[in-house]
């Protein structure tokens, strides 16, 4: 990697790092340059007491297999386990355990970063550079290795669920989680096909304990037991995503405190009622930051408790994305006016740029070549030919 950086630096060849390439706004596309594909199935990990050290190119799936064999689990797993550790740490990293533990960038102990000048540096997470690399969308270096805490494996889980008439009522109802601090709490909430459902429960070491524990929150409509929650959710998401082959993903997530979250969810309900283009699915998320924690500079969730609204538009081949883009623009504008922050993996999300990042980029030799200011995916690929895994449809070539 250091050699590749040196060649690109010397010749001024633009370079961008790509993990699993799941970002939705062309963050890992580059015209006329090098895309450094930084993903591996083998986790290259080592255990250090309750902490794990793992390389940034590992997938969460690989890491979970490594930890599972040692009776441990990652503190915050994304719902989709094929993402890379370095990729999610470069944007934020959320999952159903975020309601208890916050975002992945909040829970890193230290990281080894290869900066554009070819130096490898181990940095504590509160180092000023580390605080800009985490959630920094690859603008200041490559996350090569990371150390983070793990939890004892808890393969069983209680699973409560409740449905709602719309996103607004579900968003208002979700407020109860703010009063509950429980290390085993998980939460998942989504809207699709006119149904809004919240699911939550407690993870436990075995089914007996999962059954006997009192689940916090208002009474559920249904209750059951689940086994291997992360794998179950990964499968569920995978089945959903792959049921839209060749579709273009116009996805954005916005994070915010509770009041704007309710306002934005209600806005989406009104938009649907008025006949506007609703997303194919929406995802609601709660993230609780560790007490007293200093968040990453570009963290999408710097508040003690942050609420996320994800809008996922799946646009079939040949269909115009104009109506989806209008809804995205509208909700982004209104969300940002209410103080919401974008999750920067998303469609149309700009990477964070401020004076300090520019200064550090200069100091580290990033110049114009390392992770250059990106153009929107629509500018690079306006016909939408580049789809999942970079395949182009035969009839569009």
In this chain, which of 29, 38, 43, 332 binds ligand FAD, going by CB under 6 A?
38
Say how many C-beta atoms besides its own lie within 10 A of residue 71's C-beta.
Answer: 11
Say how many C-beta atoms besides its own lie within 10 A of residue 350's C-beta.
Answer: 13
Shortest Cβ 137–ligand FAD spacing (Å): 4
In the DSSP assignment, the letter for residue 58 is B
In this chain, which of 8, 52, 130, 143 binds ligand FAD, going by CB under 6 A?
143
In this chain, which of 43, 62, 93, 217 binds ligand FAD, going by CB under 6 A?
93
Shortest Cβ 18–ligand FAD spacing (Å): 4
Give the number of C-alpha atoms closer than 13 A to the C-alpha of residue 89, restricted to the C-beta side: 35
Complex with ligand FAD: residue 92 or 168, whichever CB lies closer? 92
Residue 391 CA to residue 221 CA, distance in Å, equals 43
The DSSP secondary structure of 8-25, one letter per residue, reads: HHHHT--EEEESS---SS
**Helices (DSSP H) in the chain: which residue ranges?**
2-11, 60-68, 85-89, 98-101, 130-133, 167-173, 207-212, 229-242, 258-273, 322-337, 355-363, 377-380
Shortest Cβ 44–ligand FAD spacing (Å): 13
28 near ligand FAD, judged by CB under 6 A: yes
Shortest Cβ 311–ligand FAD spacing (Å): 13
Closest CA to 158 of 186, 128, 123, 130: 186
Complex with ligand FAD: residue 121 or 213, whichever CB lies closer? 121
Give the x-and-dash track for 41-80 against ligand FAD (CB under 6 A): ---------------x---------------------xxx
Q: How many residues bind ligand FAD (CB under 6 A)?
A: 32
Binding site for ligand FAD (CB under 6 A): 16-23, 27-28, 38, 56, 78-80, 83-84, 86-88, 90-95, 137-138, 142-143, 241, 345
């Amino acid at each position: 990697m250091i050699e590749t950086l040196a060649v690109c630096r010397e010749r001024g060849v633009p370079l961008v790092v790509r993990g699993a390439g799941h970002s939705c706004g062309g963050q890992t596309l580059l015209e006329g340059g090098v895309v450094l594909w930084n993903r591996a199935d083998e986790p290259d990990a080592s255990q250090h007491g309750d902490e794990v050290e793992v390389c940034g190119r590992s997938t969460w799936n690989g890491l979970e297999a490594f930890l599972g064999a040692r009776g441990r689990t990652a503190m915050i797993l994304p719902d989709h386990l094929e993402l890379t550790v370095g990729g999610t740490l470069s944007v934020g990293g959320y999952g159903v355990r975020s309601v208890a533990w916050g975002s992945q960038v909040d829970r890193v102990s230290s990281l080894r970063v290869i900066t554009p000048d070819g130096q490898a540096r181990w940095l504590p997470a509160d180092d000023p550079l580390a605080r800009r690399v985490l959630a920094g969308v690859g603008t200041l270096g490559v996350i090569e290795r990371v150390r983070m805490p793990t939890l004892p494996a808890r393969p069983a889980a209680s699973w409560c669920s409740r449905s709602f008439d719309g996103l607004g009522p579900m968003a208002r109802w979700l407020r109860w989680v703010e009063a509950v601090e429980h290390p085993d709490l998980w939460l998942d909430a989504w809207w699709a096909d006119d149904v809004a459902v919240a699911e939550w429960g407690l993870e436990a070491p075995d089914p007996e304990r999962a059954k006997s524990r009192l689940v916090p929150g208002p009474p559920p409509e249904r209750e059951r037991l689940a086994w291997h929650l992360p794998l179950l959710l990964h499968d569920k998401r995978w089945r959903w995503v792959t049921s839209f082959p060749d579709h273009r993903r116009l996805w954005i997530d916005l994070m915010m405190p509770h009041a704007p979250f309710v306002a934005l969810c209600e806005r989406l309900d009104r938009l649907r009622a008025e006949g506007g283009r609703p997303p194919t699915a929406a995802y609601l998320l709660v993230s609780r930051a560790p007490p007293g924690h200093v968040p990453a500079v570009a963290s999408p969730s710097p508040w003690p408790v942050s609420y996320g609204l994800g809008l996922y538009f799946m646009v079939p081949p040949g269909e115009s994305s104009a109506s989806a883009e209008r809804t995205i623009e509208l909700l982004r504008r209104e969300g940002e006016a209410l103080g919401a922050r974008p999750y920067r993996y998303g469609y149309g999300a700009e990477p964070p740029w401020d004076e300090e990042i520019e200064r550090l980029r200069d100091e580290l030799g990033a110049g114009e070549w390392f992770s250059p200011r990106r153009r929107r995916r629509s500018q690079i690929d306006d016909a939408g030919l580049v789809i999942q895994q970079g395949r182009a449809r035969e009839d569009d070539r």
